[in-house]
Chains A and B, each alone.
Chain A
């Protein structure tokens, strides 16, 4: 149990376009979903926390208008990177929690902006 999927696994886009990443908890209902970003050789940095039906809470320094998060249901959250630029190229990872404690990670999405 506790499987989290993420789609797509890899995306290459042109500068200025928008990219949507989906995160799904496949076999449990997630009370909370998290979005992280990881640059090469660095640790995970929390971008935002989202609960179903409410607005996401963004970490300091993360632009909410650039990284749009929608938590439509207890099993689905989406992250849209709007007007992507090369500096947004990174490994984006979502996670889902069902008990306000442990979280389970999706496989990640590698975004490359040309």
Chain B
């Protein structure tokens, strides 16, 4: 079992719709949870971080965390073609120097105009 699992997709949604991305993790000592967006050929860009159970909203993005179920999700409202990218779920757990980040394989999102 991978430490961080995501559906590889592609997930295709029409412009203006809600895109729902999901992630599960296996290590219960995981402390912090992140969603990164990565465009092809570029490095990841942090879009959301969440540390406690519940929802966290930032603009069109909402992250949801359920530690009991070891589940993290990202909702993108009013999806735009510019949101088309690979979304990486990442989880921090204790490691050398403070923490270690484990990345999922990513979910490819296509937003159709």
Contact = CB atoms under 8 A, between A and B. Distances in A.
Interface of A: 31-32, 34, 42-44, 46, 49-51, 57, 91, 93, 97, 100-108, 110
Contacts of B99: 32, 97, 100-101
A44 B44 contact: yes
Contacts of B96: 49, 57
Interface stretch (B14-22, B58-66, B70-78, B103-111): B103-111
B43 A106 contact: yes
Interface of B: 32, 34, 36, 41-46, 49, 88, 92, 95-106
Q: Is the interface of A mostly helix, strand, loop or mixed?
A: strand
B98 A32 contact: yes
B100 A49 contact: yes
A91 B106 CA distance: 16
Contacts of B44: 44, 93, 105
Contacts of A32: 97-99
Contact of A42 (B42, B45, B102, B105): B105
The winner among B46, B97, B101, B106 for most chain A CB atoms within 10 A is B97
